[in-house]
């Protein structure tokens, strides 16, 4: 063993001796990893550190009553279970490093060096130092001499300074109500000391100092920062004999030494929308909660969302608020963070507008940049301090519009963002987030919660478990869906209607926001460049740009958008639509404005084409899609109905609401007006019986395959022989037969992209006829039940109770309203339709449209299913297309 290694081991041994209380209480041997390193077996040292860490984490599980028995858990599972109860980010990092090193040491192919073993011991020391230095009795079994509330406050303060890289030097419990702590940090050649004296009240400090003669406070240390922290209000100066070199604070105002909260909230209130003057915004909603012990989920109705947020501010908890654009999410948050703080509520409240997060920066960088003007700590420690404040539950943290901060509007993008946000969630935290899109797991309970605002539940985070993040397992994490009655206006719509003087019930947000845009542009004298303004901001949104510097605006729109050529927010002619986003930048007052301009931009085919040429995936949201449909419908001549069944070549908006895309149709095709009927299929069968089918068969068709319908499976045995069914869709015929019939007629099957584009049109509508729910236009489970089956549970109940037993295909031309913008009929409901899109690795074919036994939400044009190529079903038919 080298002299250098021996010296380092000796130092580590001495540091481990400082934590002998933990070793004795838990029955651990801290000497064994050191001996293994000294004997030249670093892999054994890492394994022993892993075992010690497991024992520590099991103690934490039992202390915090984490559900489940920790006895059989792996190190990874123990870390995940204990994570919500550990405030320190550095401790969590240390635990993950130990796990990583142990994983490496147990796999062949990795060479384990002495340095790896030393690192494992150092990281163990970081864990031990935290629990020893904060005065916590969790691992030592010590019964604190301090009063419970004083001990908790002392632990919080010690943890804060450890987070800022200070080391504990002294800690004395001077009385049951008074504790002294001294911390030290080296900053290059500079030494920094922080001295804290925490007490219940000033008189107790006087008595303690009189008894000790004040000797503990004669430190004479350089660079000393001294705090006297009391629980009494109104204390202005330190009592004698302490002197005047102490900063005196009450405990509930101690964070004033680190953050200028008043200035932060003043800047928040200066941005749109301000809380309603003289009145609180009250919105009802449905709340999904999870029992921490049993994991059982429960949905209840909340009469006033603002009251729920007040409860979070008082008792903690983590909450996701979901609601449509303009539903009041931002106003609720600003009411919370800027409102008066009642006794017992968390005084410190942070608000972050996540729409201002740059696409190329991570959450840590965004928080650092946002808090830098308000926090009196080095920039390197801003996020660490915020992280500690949030996880310890000492602040309310409001993260507004997290769906606007995703790096990409994809499943992977939401997972990436939530993995970062999960850093600040703990059992003690009070974190409130808002989103127009839910990114919780797609469980039946979540579907039930979300189906009130969306016909299809977003399935955005199936991979969260693989990423080690499960929002439904984060303690006290709940989801609130704000109520969205179809006949009521959102708070944003009401505000705009009031400003614009709309009589009667306010129009839809699309019309109101467009009228407001026209008004602002007109009053600014910029009506002649209205289309250029829409194109500039619309194309910027597609690129992911939502914040604009004054230089950006001049380069994109010209100097005329500023009065007198002077760059500044007060001289910006369009400021009625914007809010400041820093000293020399602006963002839209509400994301809906830029999304509206994006929709206006995308109405032109040439602009959709250009969006695909940029290179990066265009940023699209459900609000952009809805505005595109509504603006196209409202603008005369822009949504002309065609009855020729021709899908033109061009770029179309497709995909589900959480993953909207622009995709190109390369060449025009003509669709069959109706699905292939029994009569048409019988004509094909007659030709097959007479001539055989070789010239029409798919080259991969299995040998001996028959194109005869699977008659044994038919719901009606005479379906293909009874003339009454001649105009019904052909079913119980599979992919091979659909391909062959199309070839027989000189046609082919449509791709799933062509099918969806033909159903949605150029305006991205949800259903072939538009966005409205129209039960009279479809044959689906809801129409057979005679009632809307809005939730998954309602549809499942109908199925299980046999109430859909009589459901079956109807005539192919039964619903006049079920027609797409290109004149294609019956694309939604009745029967699924086979497409030419095949998943070769699974031997599955994509089917579209939904069927007679599916709930309404499965009939959206974007909804897809899979069927075996060799399979046949009563719910699956097809239609053909011909190339032009």
Whether the predicted pLDDT of 570 surpasses 50: yes
H helical segments located in 64-88: 75-82
Model confidence band, residue 459 (pLDDT cutoffs 50, 70, 90) = very low
Q: Which of 45-49, 274-278, 631-635 has the lowest mean pLDDT?
A: 274-278
Q: Which of 239-248, 524-533, 544-553, 613-622 has the lowest mean pLDDT?
A: 239-248
Domain ranges across the chain: 3-133, 148-257, 261-482, 493-639, 669-883
User: Is domain 3-133 annotated with CATH 2.60.40?
Assistant: no
The pTM for the full model equals 0.82
Between 491 and 676, residue with greater pLDDT: 676
Specify the pLDDT at position 458: 41
The pLDDT tens digits for 796-831 are 888 888 888 888 999 999 999 999 999 999 999 999
- Taking residues 654-671, report their average pLDDT: 92
Q: Which of 54-63, 193-202, 740-749 has the lowest mean pLDDT?
A: 193-202
Q: What are phi and psi of 792, to 5 degrees?
A: -60, -45
Between 143 and 743, residue with greater pLDDT: 743
CATH classification code of 669-883: 3.90.1580.10
- Taking residues 561-586, report their average pLDDT: 93
Whether the predicted pLDDT of 678 surpasses 60: yes
Whether the predicted pLDDT of 858 surpasses 70: yes
Share the mean pLDDT of the chain.
Answer: 85
Specify the pLDDT at position 205: 79
Q: Where are the beta strands (DSSP E) in 513-666?
A: 547-549, 578-580, 585-588, 646-647, 650-654, 661-665
Whether the predicted pLDDT of 442 surpasses 60: no
Q: Find the helix packing angle between 89-105 and 114-133, rounded to 10°.
A: 150
Q: Which of 482, 512, 481 is nearest to 494 (CA)?
A: 512
Whether the predicted pLDDT of 551 surpasses 70: yes
The pLDDT tens digits for 154-208 are 889 999 999 998 888 888 888 888 888 888 888 877 888 888 888 887 777 777 7
Cβ atoms 257, 375 nearer than 8 A: no
Query: How many helices and strands (H and E) does the chain possess?
Result: 28, 24
Query: 529-558 in b/e burial notation, b at 16+ Cβ within 10 A?
Result: beeebbbbbbbbbbebbbbbebebbeebbe
R_g of the chain, CA atoms, integer Å:
33
Q: Which of 864, 400, 437 is nearest to 621 (CA)?
A: 437
Model confidence band, residue 455 (pLDDT cutoffs 50, 70, 90) = very low
Which pair of tokens denotes residue 725?
A: 């069914």
- Taking residues 595-623, report their average pLDDT: 90
Residue 724: exposure state from Cβ atoms within 10 A (0-12, 13-18, ≥19): exposed
CATH classification code of 261-482: 3.40.50
Specify the pLDDT at position 233: 60
Cβ atoms 578, 587 nearer than 8 A: yes
Residues 6+ apart with CB under 8 A from 713: 732, 872, 873, 874
How many other C-beta atoms lie within 10 A of the C-beta of residue 849?
31
- Taking residues 837-866, report their average pLDDT: 91
Specify the pLDDT at position 292: 63
Cα separation, 393 vs 860, in Å, equals 43
Whether the predicted pLDDT of 537 surpasses 60: yes
Model confidence band, residue 755 (pLDDT cutoffs 50, 70, 90) = very high
Whether the predicted pLDDT of 226 surpasses 90: no
Specify the pLDDT at position 453: 43
């Amino acid at each position: 063993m080298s002299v250098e290694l021996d010296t380092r081991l000796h130092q580590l041994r001495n540091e481990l001796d400082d934590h002998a209380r933990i070793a004795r209480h838990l029955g651990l041997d801290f000497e064994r990893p050191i001996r293994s390193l000294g004997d030249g077996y670093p892999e054994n040292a890492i394994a022993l550190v892993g075992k010690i860490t497991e024992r520590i984490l099991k103690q934490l599980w039992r202390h915090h009553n984490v559900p489940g028995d920790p006895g059989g858990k792996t190190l990874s599972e123990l870390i995940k279970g204990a994570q919500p109860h550990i405030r320190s980010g550095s401790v969590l990092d240390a635990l993950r490093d130990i796990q990583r090193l142990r994983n490496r040491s147990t796999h062949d192919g990795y060479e384990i060096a002495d340095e790896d073993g030393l690192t494992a011991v150092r990281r163990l020391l970081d864990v031990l130092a935290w629990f020893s230095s904060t005065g916590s009795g969790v691992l030592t079994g010590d019964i604190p001499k301090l009063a419970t509330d004083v001990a908790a406050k002392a632990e919080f303060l010690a943890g804060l300074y450890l987070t800022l890289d200070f080391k504990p030097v002294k800690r004395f419990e001077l009385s049951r109500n008074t504790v002294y702590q001294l911390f030290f940090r080296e900053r290059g050649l500079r030494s920094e000391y922080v001295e804290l004296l925490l007490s219940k009240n000033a008189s107790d400090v006087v008595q303690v100092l009189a008894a000790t003669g004040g000797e503990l406070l004669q430190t004479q240390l350089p660079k000393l920062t001294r705090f006297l922290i009391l629980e009494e209000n109104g204390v202005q100066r330190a009592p004698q004999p302490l002197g005047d070199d102490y900063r005196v604070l009450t405990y509930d105002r101690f964070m004033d030494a680190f953050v200028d909260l008043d200035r932060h909230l003043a800047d928040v209130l200066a941005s749109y929308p301000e809380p309603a003057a003289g009145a609180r915004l009250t919105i009802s909603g449905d709340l999904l909660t999870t029992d921490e012990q049993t994991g059982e989920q429960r949905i209840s109705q909340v009469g006033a969302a603002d009251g729920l947020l007040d409860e979070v501010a008082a008792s903690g908890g983590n909450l996701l608020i979901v609601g449509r654009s303009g539903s009041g999410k931002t106003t609720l948050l600003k009411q919370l963070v800027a409102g008066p703080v009642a006794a017992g509520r968390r005084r410190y409240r942070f608000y972050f507008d996540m729409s201002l997060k740059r696409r190329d920066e991570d959450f840590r960088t965004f928080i650092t940049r946002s808090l830098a003007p308000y926090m009196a700590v080095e920039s390197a420690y801003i996020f660490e301090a915020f992280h500690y404040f949030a996880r310890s539950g000492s602040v309310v943290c409001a993260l507004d519009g997290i769906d606007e901060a995703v790096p990409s509007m994809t499943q992977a993008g939401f997972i990436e963002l939530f993995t970062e946000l999960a850093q600040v969630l703990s059992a003690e935290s009070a974190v409130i987030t808002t989103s127009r899109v839910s990114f919780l797991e797609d469980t039946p309970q979540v579907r039930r919660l979300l189906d009130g605002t969306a016909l299809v539940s977003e399935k955005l985070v199936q991979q969260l478990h693989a990423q080690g993040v499960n929002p439904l397992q984060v303690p006290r994490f709940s989801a609130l869906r704000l109520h969205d009655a179809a006949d009521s206006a959102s708070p944003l719509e009401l505000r705009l209607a009031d400003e614009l003087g709309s009589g009667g019930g306010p129009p839809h947000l699309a019309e109101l926001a467009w009228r407001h845009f026209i008004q602002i542009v007109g009053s600014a004298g910029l009506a002649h460049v209205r289309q250029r303004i829409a194109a500039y901001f619309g194309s910027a949104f597609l690129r992911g740009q939502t914040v604009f510097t004054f230089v950006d605006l001049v380069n994109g729109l010209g100097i005329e958008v500023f009065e007198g050529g002077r760059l500044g927010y007060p001289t910006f002619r369009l400021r009625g639509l914007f809010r400041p986003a820093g000293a020399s930048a602006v963002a839209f007052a509400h994301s809906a404005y830029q999304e509206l301009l994006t929709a206006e931009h995308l109405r032109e085919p040439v602009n959709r084409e250009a969006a695909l040429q940029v290179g990066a995936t265009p940023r699209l949201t459900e609000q952009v899609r809805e505005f595109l449909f509504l603006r196209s419908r409202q603008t005369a001549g822009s949504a002309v109905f065609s009855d020729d069944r021709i899908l033109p070549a061009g770029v179309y908006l497709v995909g589900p609401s959480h993953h909207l895309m622009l995709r190109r149709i390369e060449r025009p095709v003509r669709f069959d007006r109706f699905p292939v009927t029994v009569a048409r299929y019988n004509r094909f069968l007659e030709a097959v019986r007479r001539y055989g089918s070789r010239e029409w068969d798919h080259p991969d068709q299995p040998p001996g395959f028959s194109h005869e319908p699977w008659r044994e499976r038919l719901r009606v045995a005479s379906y293909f022989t009874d003339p009454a069914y001649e105009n019904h869709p052909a079913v119980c015929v599979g992919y091979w037969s659909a391909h062959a019939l199309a070839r027989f007629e000189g046609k082919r099957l449509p791709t799933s992209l062509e099918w969806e584009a033909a159903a949605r049109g150029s305006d991205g509508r949800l259903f072939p006829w538009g966005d409205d729910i129209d039960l009279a236009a479809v044959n689906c489970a809801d129409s057979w039940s005679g009632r809307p089956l809005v939730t998954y549970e309602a549809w499942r109940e109908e199925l299980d109770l046999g109430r859909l037993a009589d459901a079956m295909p109807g005539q192919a031309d039964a619903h006049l309203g079920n027609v797409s913008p290109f004149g294609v009929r019956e694309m939604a409901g009745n029967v699924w339709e086979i497409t030419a899109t095949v998943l070769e690795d699974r031997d599955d074919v994509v089917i579209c449209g939904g069927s007679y036994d599916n709930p309404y939400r499965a009939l959206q044009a974007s909804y897809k299913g899979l069927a075996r190529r060799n399979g046949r079903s009563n719910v699956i038919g097809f239609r053909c297309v011909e190339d032009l």
